[in-house]
Amino acid sequence: MDRDDPNPAELLGVVLCGGKSTRMGRDKALIQTRDGKRFLDLAVDRLRRVCGDVCLSGRRDHRWQGCTIADPPAPRGPISGVVASLEHAASYGFHGCVFNPVDTPHLTTEDVRALVDAFGDQPDRAVCAVAGPHASRVEPLIAVYPTSVAARFRDALDRGQYGLQRILAELDCVRVVLPPRSCRNLNTPADLTDVESRP
């Protein structure tokens, strides 16, 4: 290789499973699609095809035997999981993390690979999905972040700045346009109409 770019083996896949699923009324990670796969399994499988190593970020009660990066005792929303994951990845020598929320079952392996490819072209910049060509906001949890930005996220967290959009605006992240359906979070029972298995 002529360039010193990170390869997928140097990126840690992270399934974001924090949050209380209050609006859904049950753990979103354990919801099954019509073909019998849990949302958690879908996320892990797509990340493994791109990254190899995968960890869960959040609670330790998802019937998962692999690596779990626990939320702090008093989490402050998604930023807590992002910080913990980046710091974990850095401690194990990974160059960055590929983040995938567990409640985006329509995200595909090809979508994730597009993010990783963009990161490979600029391996010191954050890469975020954008839901369609006309979207103005990035998707901060469908993203690839280098471990070098961990200190920036940690500083924001310690100062009580929990909003990821503001941090990413300051970082001037690379934007990768994905289909809006891929980026759609399923948050309520009504959102499951065309996804969930039925008895």
pLDDT greater than 80 at residue 74: no
pLDDT greater than 90 at residue 185: no
pLDDT level of residue 37 (50, 70, 90 thresholds): confident
Instruction: Find, among 185, 90, 191, the residue nearest to 129 by Cα.
Output: 185
User: How far from 161 is each of 57, 143, 164, 172, 181, CA to CA, in Å?
Assistant: 20, 19, 8, 17, 29
Enter the pTM of the model. Answer: 0.86
Residue 198: its pLDDT value, please?
44
pLDDT level of residue 15 (50, 70, 90 thresholds): very high
Residue 173: its pLDDT value, please?
92
pLDDT greater than 60 at residue 2: no
Find where tokens 């929990």 sit: 162
User: How far from 70 is each of 64, 67, 75, CA to CA, in Å?
Assistant: 13, 9, 10
Residue 3: its pLDDT value, please?
36
Q: What is the DSSP letter of 60?
A: S
Q: Are strands 11-17 and 54-58 parallel, antiparallel or unpaired?
A: parallel
Q: Which residue has the higher pLDDT, 199 or 55?
A: 55
Q: Are 173 and 11 in contact (CB under 8 A)?
A: no
Instruction: Tell me the backbone φ, ψ of residue 143, rounded to 5 degrees.
Output: -160, 165
Q: Are 44 and 5 in contact (CB under 8 A)?
A: no
Helices 109-121, 39-50: crossing angle, 10 deg rounding: 40
Q: Are 82 and 145 in contact (CB under 8 A)?
A: yes
* Digit-coded pLDDT (tens) for 124-146: 999 999 999 998 899 999 999 99
pLDDT level of residue 5 (50, 70, 90 thresholds): very low
Instruction: Find, among 184, 187, 152, the residue nearest to 169 by Cα.
Output: 152
* Digit-coded pLDDT (tens) for 91-129: 999 999 999 998 898 899 999 999 999 999 888 999 999
Q: For domain 8-188, say whether CATH 3.30.450.40 is its number.
A: no
